[in-house]
Structure 1
Amino acid sequence: MTNSSTCTEPDLKPYYAITYTCILVPGLIGNTLALWVFYGYMKETKRAVIFMINLAIADLAQVLSLPLRIFYYLTGTWEFGGGLCMLCFYLKYVNMYASIYFLVCISVQRYLFLMHPFRASSCKRLCDVYASVAGWLVVCVGCLPFPLLRLQNDATNTCFVDLPVEQVDLSTSLAMVSVGELLGFVTPLLIILYCSWKTVLSLREKNSASRDLGEKKKALKMILTCALVFLICFGPYHISFPLDFFVKTEQIGNKCVQKVISVFHAVALCLASLNSCVDPVIYYFTTDEFRRRLSRQDLQDSIQLHSLASTRKNSKDVLRKDAVGC
């Protein structure tokens, strides 16, 4: 059974290439547009925009690495050096865990503004900046084991899923997987679920004014959307991650089990990458400022202001040149 051809590991590279190609254009357009919108409305939007900007940056960083991934999965060879391979491989996990972190931050902030508005308003936008910087540092350091456990083999020009994994003993494997699952998935999931639960309970309060009820519904919509994206994009990966890790470190040796885990892990990886083009959809449907910025009237006003500014700048340049010529 172990040596049967039905249990050989399938070639999943074409599926990776197709998935990343489908993600590339929507992710690039959506996150670039999101950064433009949030930059223009940074001063008048709620403070959660800081976390949304960081979420868009994390998504855009991964999207920009997708062309190299697509090239590798189509050609089967890596021609860009081991350093760039490790950087692209590393960015995948930085994006995923940075997205998890900022989804949690957005959910917590919406919950705090709703349940404790005076306490939350005492912390100015600078707090969000500090939280974002701290989050990036923790995520970047925490994701270092992913590339450090991979062995770059320049002789065969391999990268990404084809990179061999350093062999570690079972106790070390269990410890690393447990810490990663607990800090990277279970704890953020519990936080988002808690925020959702408390927001739902607040909707049942009979003494809520109609305005407060509307704000609560908006907050619940945002938090539940974050929870849904979190579960769909990152839930399957964190189920398949320990199984795939045990396969790659040869803790699981049965070929048929390895095949099933490899296919499941490939699907989970594709779902995890999907968040790069799903997050801009969250912004549009849960953020009033985002929809207003993309409305036809606001878009026309923005274009007219940009054209007027360009015209004034060109006029000043012409007058300056004439003055110098005189």
Structure 2
Amino acid sequence: MNNTVEYVPEPKLAYALVFGFIMALGLLLNAMSLWTFLRHHSLKSPSTVFMVNLVISDLLFVFSLPMRVYFYATGTWPLGPFACVCTEMLFRNNIRSSSIFITFICVDRLLAVVYPLRSRHLRTSSNASKAAALVWLFVLAVNVPESVNMTRFLNNYNISSCFVFSRYQATYPYRSANTIFQFVLVLIMLAVNVVSTALVSWSLHKYLNDSARVNNTVNVMLIFVMSLVMFIICFLPVSVAVLKGWRHAMMPSICLASVNCCLDPLLYYFSLDAFWKKKEDADLARSAS
């Protein structure tokens, strides 16, 4: 027996405008960030490796936004199930990979501040590249069963529209495992960021002298504050909304999650502050003496 879901979406120009603005700003900022990394920063530091991978994750998501803009502007989806699944997976992948790469950046900064000498053999570009490759393999491994199940869902229910999965969460059990997985992943990454923020804050106030504290602590802590903001505002609300099946909160939380591709360049700015090079040079000088 073939089930048919009667759902005819209406154009939602407000969402089309939101995604259009995010697309334009995200493309500009991330393209500039990638150009800056490749032009002025070599991939010799672990944080730069993680940030380049974060830029790639954001750009992949930004490239999928024109399809969302078209869908919400016209209320039609002429591209079929495959394009719908790809677009949806790029959004989910961005949340997952971004949350992991942001956490890696914060852990790298934690090691640089709290354990600058003992962590030198860990904080290498080679280890960072291996970790980034594992992240992408992990994301792709999750994609395979999720994409198959999502395609099966669209075909079984004859859904001609896209981005309507949340409406039928209760009738399709496989989504429970996926939504729980994403919620747990975001929660674990958030916990790591909270602990890293607390340890770095304690270390800076304990070891930096007063003048350094005034000039550098703000710059350092802004990295961790930006990370927590992105988790609390961008990643956590959409994970909770999907997990709980809150339909009315779904689209606002998706819009908030999409904003993370525009906020990440601020993280790059604070992470590449000259303070880090000065501090590491000072640590090396102390160890040599």
Identify the TM-score tier after normalising by the shorter chain: 0.7 to 0.9
Q: How does 1:206-225 map to 2 (within 5 A)?
A: 207-209=207-209, 213=213, 216-225=217-226
| 2:92 counterpart residue number | 93
| 1:267 counterpart residue number | 252
| 2:229 counterpart residue number | 228
Q: Deviations over 1:168-221 (max 9, x none)?
A: 45xx76555433322x2111011000000111111331x534686455543322
Displacement of 1:141 in angstroms is 2.0
> Take 1:271 and 1:280, find their aligned partners in 2: how far apart are those partners?
16
Paired letter, 2:38: Y
Q: Deviations over 1:111-141 (max 9, x none)?
A: 0011111222223211110010101111222
| 2:281 counterpart residue number | none
Asked if the contact 1:152/1:164 (under 8 Å) is kept, the reply is no
> Take 2:270 and 2:139, find their aligned partners in 1: how far apart are those partners?
28
Paired letter, 2:59: L
Q: Deviations over 1:76-102 (max 9, x none)?
A: 222223222211111110111111011
Q: Deviations over 1:54-85 (max 9, x none)?
A: 11110110111111111112222222232222
Paired letter, 2:247: S
> Take 2:132 and 2:192, find their aligned partners in 1: how far apart are those partners?
17
Secondary structure of residue in 1 paired with 2:160: coil
Asked if the contact 2:46/2:127 (under 8 Å) is kept, the reply is no
| 1:192 counterpart residue number | 193
Distance of aligned partners of 1:47 and 1:163 in 2 relative to their CA distance in 1, 3 Å threshold = closer
Q: Which has the larger radius of gyration?
A: 1
Paired letter, 1:201: W
Moved more, 55-64 or 71-80: 71-80
Alignment RMSD, CA only?
Answer: 2.8
Aligned counterpart in structure 2 of residue 284 of structure 1, from 251, 269, 274: 269
Residue 57 of structure 2 is aligned to residue 58 of structure 1 = yes
Residue 33 of structure 2 is aligned to residue 34 of structure 1 = yes
> Take 2:243 and 2:113, find their aligned partners in 1: how far apart are those partners?
37
TM-score under structure 2 length normalisation? 0.80
Residue 141 of structure 2 is aligned to residue 141 of structure 1 = yes
Q: How does 1:1-326 map to 2 (within 5 A)?
A: 13-43=12-42, 46-123=45-122, 124-150=124-150, 151-153=153-155, 157-161=160-164, 165=168, 167-169=171-173, 175-182=177-184, 184-205=185-206, 207-209=207-209, 213=213, 216-244=217-245, 261-288=246-273
Distance of aligned partners of 1:229 and 1:156 in 2 relative to their CA distance in 1, 3 Å threshold = closer
Moved more, 103-112 or 277-286: 277-286
> Take 2:159 and 2:135, find their aligned partners in 1: how far apart are those partners?
36
Asked if the contact 1:225/1:282 (under 8 Å) is kept, the reply is yes
Paired letter, 1:181: F
Asked if the contact 2:183/2:236 (under 8 Å) is kept, the reply is no
Paired letter, 1:160: F
Paired letter, 1:147: S
> Take 1:149 and 1:45, find their aligned partners in 2: how far apart are those partners?
40
TM-score under structure 1 length normalisation? 0.71
| 1:257 counterpart residue number | none
Distance of aligned partners of 1:286 and 1:130 in 2 relative to their CA distance in 1, 3 Å threshold = closer
Q: Is there any run of 5+ residues in structure 2 with no aligned partner, and where?
A: 1-8, 275-289
Asked if the contact 2:103/2:193 (under 8 Å) is kept, the reply is yes
> Take 1:42 and 1:75, find their aligned partners in 2: how far apart are those partners?
42
Displacement of 1:157 in angstroms is 3.0
> Take 1:162 and 1:196, find their aligned partners in 2: how far apart are those partners?
36
> Take 1:283 and 1:45, find their aligned partners in 2: how far apart are those partners?
15
Q: Percent identity?
A: 27
Secondary structure of residue in 2 paired with 1:160: coil
Distance of aligned partners of 1:45 and 1:222 in 2 relative to their CA distance in 1, 3 Å threshold = farther
> Take 1:29 and 1:177, find their aligned partners in 2: how far apart are those partners?
31
Moved more, 153-162 or 273-282: 153-162
Asked if the contact 2:146/2:178 (under 8 Å) is kept, the reply is no
